[in-house]
Amino acid sequence: MDWVARSSIAEQDRPDAIPLALKHSPYCVHVDKAALKSVVEAASKPPEDDVDSIDYVSLIQADWTLPNPDEHDPGENGTDDPYDDGEEPIKGCRLYDVGWTRVCNSGLVLPTYARLTAGDWEVSYTRPPEVAVH
């Protein structure tokens, strides 16, 4: 998704742009029907705490790509297939990291954003359908 790089450059080339050290995030939030239902219907209503952390949104790693088969080490996942980590398929993908995760809605902004801006996708990642609670 090279739109991240293109839009960052386009916005910074404007004469009225404020020169900041900020850049577009390589992550985006996706809310499908199930996520919307988890937030609107299933989650605890304020002022109750959502101790079960069932409300979630999907967080997509925009620059995620499939592994390069030329760089595959069969000992790494125990198979000759670079696209099979032995996981249950998610939309046909058997890799551990599928490029998106479910994040507890209440932990999305501060904890998750702080880790992601530090480059810690691996720390924030939980394989769907589990919900990352941070």
10, 91, 119 from 5: Cα distances, Å:
9, 28, 17
| pLDDT tens sequence for the chain (134 residues) | 555 556 655 555 555 555 444 456 788 889 999 999 888 876 666 666 656 557 889 999 888 988 888 877 766 666 778 888 889 999 999 999 999 999 888 777 777 777 777 777 888 889 999 988 76
The residues spanned by each domain of the chain are: 26-64+99-132
Q: Are 93 and 42 in contact (CB under 8 A)?
A: no
* Per-residue confidence (pLDDT) for residue 50, from 0 to 100: 55
Which tokens is 45 given?
């209503």
Q: Which of 130, 58, 70 is nearest to 96 (CA)?
A: 130
